[in-house]
Structure 1
Amino acid sequence: MSEVDSVFTLPPRPPLWQRLGTLPLFSHYNRLVALVLLANLGALVYGITVGQWWSASGVALEVLSQLVLANLSMAILIRQQYLINLLFWLATRAPTSWPLAIRRSLAKVYHFGGLHSGGAMAAIAWFVALLGSMIWQRTEGTGGVLLTLLAISAALLGVLLLMAIMALPGIRSRFHNAFERTHRFAGWVALLLFWAMTLVFARDRHPGADLAQVLLTSVSFWMLPLLTLSIALPWLRLRKVPVTLVKPSSHAVIARFNHHTPFAGSSTAISRHPLWEWHSFANIPAPDEDGFRLIISRAGDWTGELIEQPPSHVWVKGITTAGVAHIETLFKSVVYVATGSGIGPVLPHLLAGQVPIHLIWSTRSPRATYGDALVEEILQAQPDAHIWDTDRLGKPDLVALAYAAVRTHGAEAVICISNQKLTERVVEEMESRGIPAYGAIWDS
């Protein structure tokens, strides 16, 4: 265990006006949200002026419904695991010979959730406009809107609003299980209601035409099977697999799976009761070895029960999905900052050795908590790893350590794997000093 050189003093941050772009408010995630909302605002302006979607002769209900579906489709499909992996694959094709300015932006690929949030917000806004327009057209306009369609639409809007409210950051973090279940079950209900609304809407708009012909010639209709397949795919891969749990301490377990071998930088969601609660952990594959491991620390009732009452089998679903650490190949060298079980996402990269890495790992009694075998495995992969024992040394200034490591080892980027507060602090402090930095964004 080596010490990071302390000859580099952490410089003061530049004035606020010089680092506005590094503030969380202007993150790539929020920029994508703003981009989606601005595009939809442009569509609204066009509809009010040139398009004449609202006029005395009626409302362009089909256009409004298409805008709802387009935004909702983006919100759903951008969360599809195959598409996520494709985005990461495309972003990491850039060679390290490219300018750092380009590579540091490509590494923000994991902020794709901004398209999900922006699309969901825009879809709900258009849905409010659509429902309000249908009510107006039935009561004050040209009529012709079925009560059945209004009832289904109102129910669907209510479900979407419930999902949006539960996804607000404060509510999501405080009631995460409720958020997860709401998104799952309400999402399924919303999909069924969307199918029903599409069928009734088609009949309402084309009362004398053949319904099958109307649907088969509608692009909007064909999006629904695609969305249904996207939502169903992870569940079609649901299976119960054996797991071996080794408990090095009462604070953590190391779970071993042999049902497949994932790639470094990916994660797996596991559950004991698949309809109720899922938890994702970073996969730890080892070179030339089948299977993988997960490091699971005590962090609540679910993990506590897993440690105290280890199961013989757990449920897995979906496919191996890329995570933030997968971006390391965009850089010539990286500093990893990890705390506690955050070593899990880092370890496969240490073992793979694709990129020169310097590790800073801050944790309580590393050998007593995670076992001698794990610590020795880390040191074998990186003898100069900086392992900070918080029980013996207290809490370190990880920002200062990360900065010193970047300067000492000439690293191009910092990747932080820790809790939300510390991750955001390390990323902002590094970025404000011109050092590319990355970490999870807790957007789901």
Structure 2
Amino acid sequence: MASIGAPASHISPTGVVFSSSRNVPTLEAKGSATSSASASINEAEKAESWDDEKALARYLVPALEKGQKNARLKPPTPWIRFRVWYNPYRMNFSLAFALNMIAIVVSCTHRWGYAENHAAALALGNLTASVACRNEFFLRYFLADTSMQWAPLWWRIFLTGFIQHIGGIHSGCAAAGIAWFFFLVIRTFQHHVAKHTPAVVLAWGIITLVVINVVMFAAMPWIRAHHHNFFERHHRFAGWLAVVFVWIFVCINDSYNTENGKFHSNGNHLAKTQEFWYALFITVLIAVPWFTVRKVPVEITTPSPRVAVIKFQKGIQQGLLGRISRSATVEYHGFGIISEGIESNTHYIIAGVQGDWTRGLVNDPPKFLYTREMKFAGLPYLAHFFRRGIAICTGSGIGAVLSTTVQLDNWFLIWIGSDMEKSFGPVLFDMINRTMPKERYILFDTKKEGRRPDTMKMLKEIYTSFKAEVVLITSNPAGNAELMQGCKENGMHSFGPLWDS
């Protein structure tokens, strides 16, 4: 890899030159001199864009002084920090939850007769929306693989933000659905004398409420971050149990006749209720992905004690993520998928060691893993919304974006890490060198160079020169916040990973 201050004519084996003394080459004079007078405006723009890309092969990465962590002279303003913190995820949560809370308040005043008679339907409707927003089957068909590049940029940015942060609707509607269950159970107890409600209906309402509350509290961000196994087991298995209890509650509630105080069995009547169809839709959405679980052979290499490179059979399109486990039902973990395309014979997952489960992949690599053939769409799946973009990542974050930059020639890759070739092995570097021209990627090894890049300066220059519309960031929480804040300050559209989605 080239050293700091290398001449511009020298290109490193990984296609990048490092220097702190030069900016991106100026590009305004290129393109038009070679265009014929009869060339169309569109052809001239394409020629200029092509020349601009070629110039990026000679780009010199601005580097910081040794020991300097970033080039920021002052912290971001409170407004910038708030804009990054109050992202569309929290907006979606606020909107979904607030609208339902307003509806419940109105219902408590006895001014909404529908809620008095169909509180269970409102609860299950919210839970249906919640499940759908986290379901591989629903999202893959909702996110049709169709280009949106014809639409105005503001709309594509809005739509990307909404889809990426649709988890806000998942958590907002789940919390609201539980609130509606509280409303329903309280109302049932208030009217149980007048309506002669039997004890079994009251008891089952409480049991259902307790179980779905366990599901919700197991998914709290702090629990997910610090007790992932607790979250995994309780959120999944208590969730399945909650579905069973919901079915029992729906059937019992429908079969009880408040007029004569007796139970009756009428399947035709049950099938006409909203509650029945909501419960059925929830069950189908939850069950379908599990029918695609397969035990598949894998080859695991461990180039370093920090990383496991997992090789699978079959190629995968860009932007998809996969869940893997040693067991068919317990402890699934999601990772980005690296593949050269659906025509390829293989795909890879890069598992960085972060806990006991990933450490086990390094210390005791299995020959088989369980995975779902139905993959779920990640943020890079929306890359086709944009004419040009930049994917910037650190460390094992390469797993989420490499397929995008390999399979789509309108995306630029920036990968920053420490001792990268030793940590990740030759597979990724071979794929990059074989499939991507030198003008479309930058690899910066902080250990080899002995310093960090001036990331925001580099990102601004590449953003301008590559004519990018958006930046996708895959880093740790601190690095993600820093880059997101810098992009906000410099008017660049950007999206980063979520840890509570």
TM-score after normalising by structure 1: 0.89
Q: How far apart are residue 107 of structure 1 and its match?
A: 1.6
Aligned counterpart, 2:380: 325
Aligned counterpart, 1:44: 104
Q: Which letter does structure 1 place at the counterpart of 2:459? A: A
Q: Which letter does structure 2 place at the counterpart of 1:125? A: A
Q: Which has the larger radius of gyration?
A: 2
Q: Is residue 2:224 matched to residue 1:172? A: yes
Partners in 2 of 1:145 and 1:289 — Cα distance? 62
Post-superposition CA distance 1:210-258 (Å, at most 9, x none):
4323202212112222211111112111111111122323322221111
Partners in 1 of 2:233 and 2:77 — Cα distance? 43
Q: Which letter does structure 2 place at the counterpart of 1:82? A: F
Aligned counterpart, 2:302: 247
Of the candidates 463, 480, 494, which is equivalent to residue 423 of structure 1? 480
Of the candidates 120, 131, 144, which is equivalent to residue 196 of structure 2? 144
Q: Which letter does structure 2 place at the counterpart of 1:367? A: E
| Residues 11/325 of structure 1: CA separation in 2 closer, same or farther (3 Å cut) | farther
Aligned counterpart, 1:113: 167
Q: Is residue 2:459 matched to residue 1:402? A: yes
Q: Which letter does structure 2 place at the counterpart of 1:106? A: L
Partners in 1 of 2:139 and 2:485 — Cα distance? 25
Is 1:343–1:361's contact at 8 Å kept on the other side of the alignment? yes
Q: Which letter does structure 1 place at the counterpart of 2:470? A: A
| Residues 222/263 of structure 1: CA separation in 2 closer, same or farther (3 Å cut) | same
Q: Secondary structure at the match of 2:147?
A: coil
Q: How does 1:284-433 map to 2 (within 5 A)?
A: 284-287=338-341, 288-317=343-372, 319-355=374-410, 357-380=411-434, 381-384=436-439, 385-392=441-448, 393-433=450-490
Partners in 2 of 1:371 and 1:382 — Cα distance? 20
Is 1:240–1:315's contact at 8 Å kept on the other side of the alignment? yes
Q: How far apart are residue 321 of structure 1 and its match?
A: 1.5
| Residues 394/153 of structure 1: CA separation in 2 closer, same or farther (3 Å cut) | farther
Is 2:337–2:399's contact at 8 Å kept on the other side of the alignment? yes
Q: Secondary structure at the match of 1:89?
A: coil
Is 1:338–1:416's contact at 8 Å kept on the other side of the alignment? yes
Q: Percent identity?
A: 27
Q: How far apart are residue 93 of structure 1 and its match?
A: 3.3
Q: Please, which moves more after superposition, 61-70 or 195-204?
A: 61-70
Aligned counterpart, 1:56: none
Of the candidates 310, 327, 340, which is equivalent to residue 273 of structure 1? 327
Q: Is residue 2:84 matched to residue 1:23? A: yes
Q: How far apart are residue 159 of structure 1 and its match?
A: 1.5
Q: How far apart are residue 266 of structure 1 and its match?
A: 0.3
The structure richer in helix per residue is 1
Is 1:337–1:398's contact at 8 Å kept on the other side of the alignment? no
Of the candidates 219, 223, 226, which is equivalent to residue 278 of structure 2? 223
Partners in 2 of 1:351 and 1:23 — Cα distance? 29
Is 1:81–1:318's contact at 8 Å kept on the other side of the alignment? no
Q: Which letter does structure 2 place at the counterpart of 1:40? A: N
| Residues 338/23 of structure 1: CA separation in 2 closer, same or farther (3 Å cut) | closer
Partners in 2 of 1:13 and 1:379 — Cα distance? 38
Q: How far apart are residue 6 of structure 1 and its match?
A: 4.2
Q: How far apart are residue 76 of structure 1 and its match?
A: 1.0
Is 2:137–2:289's contact at 8 Å kept on the other side of the alignment? no
Partners in 1 of 2:183 and 2:409 — Cα distance? 51
Q: Please, which moves more after superposition, 123-132 or 38-47?
A: 38-47
Q: How many residues align?
A: 431
Post-superposition CA distance 1:284-318 (Å, at most 9, x none):
12144223111222222111111121111110125
Q: How does 1:68-79 map to 2 (within 5 A)?
A: 68-79=123-134
Is 2:256–2:264's contact at 8 Å kept on the other side of the alignment? no
Q: How far apart are residue 273 of structure 1 and its match?
A: 1.8
Partners in 1 of 2:451 and 2:197 — Cα distance? 67
Q: Which letter does structure 2 place at the counterpart of 1:244? A: E
Q: Secondary structure at the match of 1:296?
A: strand
Q: Secondary structure at the match of 2:191?
A: helix
Partners in 2 of 1:300 and 1:397 — Cα distance? 31
| Residues 10/73 of structure 1: CA separation in 2 closer, same or farther (3 Å cut) | same
| Residues 60/104 of structure 1: CA separation in 2 closer, same or farther (3 Å cut) | closer
Partners in 2 of 1:434 and 1:86 — Cα distance? 32
TM-score after normalising by structure 2: 0.79
Aligned counterpart, 2:17: 2
Tell me the C-alpha RMSD between the 2 structures.
2.6
Q: How far apart are residue 322 of structure 1 and its match?
A: 1.2
Q: Is residue 2:50 matched to residue 1:35? A: no
Post-superposition CA distance 1:43-80 (Å, at most 9, x none):
33553557454xxxxx9653111111111111112212
Is 2:471–2:494's contact at 8 Å kept on the other side of the alignment? yes
Of the candidates 106, 122, 132, which is equivalent to residue 67 of structure 1? 122
Q: Secondary structure at the match of 1:442?
A: coil
| Residues 409/185 of structure 1: CA separation in 2 closer, same or farther (3 Å cut) | same
Partners in 1 of 2:443 and 2:425 — Cα distance? 14
Partners in 2 of 1:203 and 1:345 — Cα distance? 50
| Residues 304/35 of structure 1: CA separation in 2 closer, same or farther (3 Å cut) | same
| Residues 303/208 of structure 1: CA separation in 2 closer, same or farther (3 Å cut) | closer
Query: Unpaired segments of 5 or more residues in structure 2?
Result: 1-15, 25-61, 63-70
Q: Secondary structure at the match of 1:152?
A: helix
Is 1:235–1:318's contact at 8 Å kept on the other side of the alignment? no
Q: Which letter does structure 1 place at the counterpart of 2:172? A: G
Query: Unpaired segments of 5 or more residues in structure 1?
Result: 54-58
Partners in 2 of 1:6 and 1:49 — Cα distance? 65
Q: Secondary structure at the match of 2:392?
A: strand
| Residues 335/290 of structure 1: CA separation in 2 closer, same or farther (3 Å cut) | same
Q: Is residue 2:156 matched to residue 1:103? A: yes
Partners in 2 of 1:213 and 1:225 — Cα distance? 15
Post-superposition CA distance 1:337-378 (Å, at most 9, x none):
1111111222212221342x3222111211111123422432
Post-superposition CA distance 1:1-50 (Å, at most 9, x none):
23486479979888655x5873322x111221122123323433553557
